[in-house]
Each structure stands twice: as C-alpha cells, then as structure tokens.
Amino acid sequence: MTRVKICGITQFEDARDAALLGADAIGLNFHPNSPRYIEPSRAAKIIEKLPPFVTAVGVFVNHRDPQSLEDFALSLGLQAVQLHGNETPDYCSMIQRVKVIKAFRVDPNFRVDTLRSHGSGTFLLDGCSPGAGKSFEWELAFGANAFGSIIIGGGLTPDNVSRVISTLHPFAVDVASGVESRPGKKDYDKMRRFIEAVERADIAVMGAL
C-alpha cells in the first residue's frame, strides 16, 4: 500500500488530524526560509504527542554537518531526516542513527541513475520548487523504483494523486500545499480527500494485477 506523508506541519491540531485520517508520516520543516518553518521547541511538543505508528520526518537544507544534524534530530525525537540541499553521498552515509530520505529536484535534465550513487535507499522526487505546488513530468521518474524506495512529491493534490500512483507505483506520496488552506495550515477536508484518493488508487492498482 502507498504510504502518505503530510509535510509542512506547523500546528499540533494538523498533526493530530493527519494521524487520525491515516497518514503514515508528517514532515516538519526546519529550513528558516520556508513559509512552513517550525521552531524546534514547538516541533518537539508535536512529536511527543504523535501516535507510535506515525513517523516524524525533519526537513533540512544543507545543514552544516551530518553529526550535528543527527544529534539535533535525535534530540527532538525525529525518526527520519529529509535532505533537500546539495548533500553528497558521503554526507548521507555518515548519518546512521536516523533514516535518511534524499530529495532530488526533477527537471528535464534529471536522470534516474543519479540515484545510484546515493546509499540512502529512500528518495523523494520533487518539483523544481519544493513546497510551491508545482509538479514535474512524471515520465522522468520511470525506472526510479530500481534504486530504492521512491517517494513522489511536487504539486500533488486530491485530484491528481491517483494518477501518479497508477503511473509510477511509488513507495509513498508527499503532499504539502495540496492539502492546505494557506502555507503551514492544513485543510482537514483536503487531507481526508487526499488520503481517500490514495486508498482508492491502491485498490485499483491491486485489482489490475
């Protein structure tokens, strides 16, 4: 079954609703320039109240060194870090105590074999402007599943997520702006519709096997 990650959580109520609706993970953005940035102290309080089956993922961009990033993640209770910068394979491999999700911006020059050199095993394929609600040409991700667990993000909504699942069969889908009323504030009905659309798409894919 396709996992669902609701990213850009800034309020406990939204994290709670995402969990109750069936989300598998939430994303907390620690990049100061993001409109969805969350203070670490606030993030820690949200993580502390999450049910055990919901994974807390921290979003980072070019953090200064992997050791301090790992220490920071563990201090908050994060179970995974999502790296959106120019982190090298060596950088990623030095993070051992939390799961690593390496993000790639997919543009017309993207090649899926780029993933081969990164040992994280879990990759987020995103639009060129993460968090901006812009998708990429999904055909550019064909074959990516051969290199690890693939998460698809970028411009996903309740109306198009079923198509990306039937097209790419990803491990998970990642959504932020597609389920918001404004940056950082989730819309309950949009989250519900998104997760229901994922469930219907999974049923359709299984029925076609």
60 Ramachandran zone, left/alpha/beta (phi>0; psi -120 to 50): beta
Please check whether residue 22 is in contact with residue 6, taking contact to mean a CB–CB distance below 8 angstroms: no
Whole-number pLDDT of residue 131: 52
Whole-number pLDDT of residue 169: 97
Active site residues: 7, 126
CB hemisphere CA count around 57 (13 angstroms): 25
pTM given for the model: 0.94
Per residue in 74-99, pLDDT (tens digit) is 999 999 999 999 999 999 999 999 99
- DSSP conformation class of 97: S
Per-residue pLDDT of the chain (209 residues; tens, 9 = 90+): 999 999 999 999 999 999 999 999 999 999 999 999 999 999 999 999 999 999 999 999 999 999 999 999 999 999 999 999 999 999 999 999 999 999 999 999 999 999 988 866 899 999 866 555 568 899 999 999 999 999 999 999 999 999 999 999 999 999 999 999 999 999 999 999 999 999 999 999 887 65
- CA–CA separation, 163 and 56 (whole Å): 26
Q: Which domain holds residue 155?
A: 3-208
- CA–CA separation, 97 and 40 (whole Å): 19
The count of domains in the chain is 1
CATH number at residue 134: 3.20.20.70
How many other β-carbons are positioned within 10 Å of the β-carbon of residue 39?
A: 10
